[in-house]
Amino acid sequence: MTLPAPAPPAVPEPAPVARPEFTLRAVLVGIAVAIFVGLMYPYVVLKIGFGPNISVVSAFFGFVAVSLIGRLFAPRGSRYEYNIVQTAGTAAGQMGFMVIVLAAFDLLAARPELGVNIQLSTGQIFLWLTLAGGLGVLLAVPLRRHYIDEENLTFADGTAAGETLVILDTDYKTAKRGLWALIAGGGLSFVHTMLSQAWRVLPESLFFGKWGEKLHVGTSWSILSIASGMIVGLRVTLSMALGMVLAWYVAPPLLFANGFIPDQAFRPNLNWVMWPAVGMMISGGLTALVLKWKLIVKTFKDLKIGHLGSTDFPIRWVVVGSVVLAVALVTVQKVSLGLPVWLSVVAIAISLPLMVVGTRVLGETNWAPISAFGNLVQLVFGALAPGNATVNMLTSGMSGTVAANGEHLMQDYKAGKIIGSNNKYLTYMQLLALPFGALAVATIYPILRWQNGIGPERFGLNPEMVGKVMTQGLVAPASVRWAGFAEILAQGVSTLQEQRPYALHAFTASLVLGVVLTLLESRTKSAWVPSATSMGLGMLIEAHYVAAMVMGGLIQWIWNRRNAREQGELNMPLSSGGIVGEAIAVLGITIVTFATQSVARPGGFFEGQPEHALVSPYLWGAVFAAGVVALLVMAPRRKATGPSLSAGGGH
């Protein structure tokens, strides 16, 4: 019998390769990007009604900033450091998106008969967003292994960010093309915005005569609007165009002729057509969610939260941190906002299953059902606290913030899996970036409101700013929907019928239409079935901006037909640059105008607001100090024995 050959000697596994990841420069650049995104993003959301993907843009920002620092002081950066920066930008972008809740508060405050007067100070906004966002991040940590490792859901934005990071790190030629596209789009948009809004050399919009000027009907040359259309595509923009035609071309003469509105002008027309728009968006969103009932059942049936990996945020920190943040959030809402403790507890309890379901929906469809879930919470608290719009808005806004931050953390985990990041460091960066993003939002939102006004009645606009630069008004379409539903639940349908004749009939009909269109879209899979949500959005956004978005959708469609590969490679960075360029220009104009019109002037912005962050550096200083302490706690330690892992840790 032949003896078996001796086994080869065991080869020890190679030691982990050191790779800088959670480095000081990556964290500092990430914090800077978080502040920038937090200042920039609210304007975008309030203007177009949704938040374009900021992950890819943040990845490019990280690539540029870290690479420049590397050339000057240290070795070139890597995909791991770029992802730390991308994670910070995504976290701050989610803080910026939640400005829709703040604007909804103001829209309701403009209606004194509702008894809603939620006027949050900078400190209140900061605490509210930070605590709710941090709680959402921690509650989402145990879900990572299920959604990312076990089910390997797509999470399209996270996948796009991860693939972009790989290209930036390995394929310089392709990365260079995308970077130049981003710069070109940003430069063109920046220059056009300065020429049209700051220096008034070029018109921002072309209105169709006096009638069109009163209704804001025409076409805008806003690069941000055109670029937004290039991102969402032709089907969505055509659906928005259909809503625009019905609301702004067909409705005004009919409503005026029948005495439903006093004049064919923007404000009275929007105050009426918002009701069918809100109805269509609510029923379309909720129907789309119901159609995914199998996903919802599968979520709770298959959900497993077991042992977390060695590179995950420690579960004991999740438990302790969640309890601390939940108690702090309940306390802030009780002491600062007067919300009963039990209502806050119920809202937090509701947010967890919403996050679990919303994360799966986001992972499979790239649609975050934040607004749909917000409406569900509004219905719940409409029953628990009937007629109380203040409770309705605070609870739905808090639940939405918790759930949204948890859902979008999964996008960062997906990008991290593609490139092999350390999940613990991604969670660290999310938690570090949130307060900076929240404080940036808390700082810039009151200034935007002060200079532009919110909603059709331009609530909060300083009279001295009328006729100045940047007083175009921010309609805040998503906020109109949120506030409108709260108004119905608070006042009842009879009051609405008295104030807006036949608007209730239009609202009811639009509810049915939203369900029908969503069912047709689901059954036929046809690109020619209009999107109910997009139609409603097109009815709320000013018509000249919708026209620009349709132009963008046509550009993307033609480009894709002529050169699909080039369009797939360059459309996202080019369009993202167009959005960022206008936002940067507006941010600069806003700050300069604010400084020249308000500082140290009686009746200016600071009167009655001594604790505003721009005049009191204490809040910013506290956040920076907390960030330094957190860095010291989270920084990886050198082990006493065995191979040393640099800040990358590693899989």
Q: What is the mean pLDDT of residues 412-432?
A: 92
Secondary structure class of 474 (helix, strand, coil): strand
- Looking at residue 425, its pLDDT comes to 93
- Token pair of 310 as six digits: 């060695």
- Looking at residue 128, its pLDDT comes to 92
Tell me if 12 is assigned to some domain.
no
**Residue 53, amino acid:** N
**pLDDT reading at 621 higher than 70:** no
Total number of domains in the chain: 1
- Looking at residue 460, its pLDDT comes to 85
**How many Å apart are CA 550 and CA 21, to the nearest integer?**
41
**pLDDT reading at 295 higher than 80:** no
- Looking at residue 467, its pLDDT comes to 66
pLDDT: is 329 or 597 the higher one?
Answer: 329
- Looking at residue 647, its pLDDT comes to 31
Please state, for a pLDDT cut of 70, what percent of the chain lies above it: 84
Tell me if 281 is assigned to some domain.
yes
Tell me if 643 is assigned to some domain.
no
Q: What is the mean pLDDT of residues 279-289?
A: 83
Tell me if 645 is assigned to some domain.
no
Question: Tens digits of per-residue pLDDT, 225-262?
Answer: 999 999 888 988 999 999 999 999 999 999 999 998 99
Question: Tens digits of per-residue pLDDT, 521-567?
Answer: 888 888 789 988 889 889 988 999 999 999 999 999 999 999 999 99
**Within 10 A of 494 (CB to CB), how many other CB atoms are there?**
9
Strand partners, 474: 454
Question: Tens digits of per-residue pLDDT, 591-613?
Answer: 887 777 665 455 555 554 444 44
Q: Contact 218/224 with Cβ under 8 angstroms? A: no
Q: Which range has the worst mean pLDDT, 344-348, 359-363, 494-498, 616-620?
A: 616-620
Question: Tens digits of per-residue pLDDT, 120-147?
Answer: 888 889 999 999 999 999 988 888 887 8
pLDDT: is 355 or 500 the higher one?
Answer: 355
Q: What is the mean pLDDT of the chain?
A: 82
Q: Compute the chain's Rg from CA coordinates.
A: 25
Q: Which domain holds residue 114?
A: 24-599+610-634
**pLDDT reading at 520 higher than 70:** yes
Q: What is the mean pLDDT of residues 621-628?
A: 69
Q: Contact 448/43 with Cβ under 8 angstroms? A: yes
Residue 640's pLDDT band (cuts 50, 70, 90): very low
**pLDDT reading at 404 higher than 80:** yes
Q: Which range has the worst mean pLDDT, 174-188, 276-290, 411-425, 559-573?
A: 276-290
Tell me if 640 is assigned to some domain.
no
- Looking at residue 15, its pLDDT comes to 38
Tell me if 531 is assigned to some domain.
yes
Nearest alpha carbon to residue 572 among 92, 234, 157, 82: 157
Please state, for a pLDDT cut of 90, what percent of the chain lies above it: 35
Q: Contact 537/309 with Cβ under 8 angstroms? A: no
Tell me if 95 is assigned to some domain.
yes
**pLDDT reading at 371 higher than 80:** no
Q: What is the mean pLDDT of residues 304-317?
A: 69
**Within 10 A of 203 (CB to CB), how many other CB atoms are there?**
12
Tell me if 499 is assigned to some domain.
yes
Q: Which range has the worst mean pLDDT, 186-195, 230-239, 267-276, 285-294?
A: 285-294
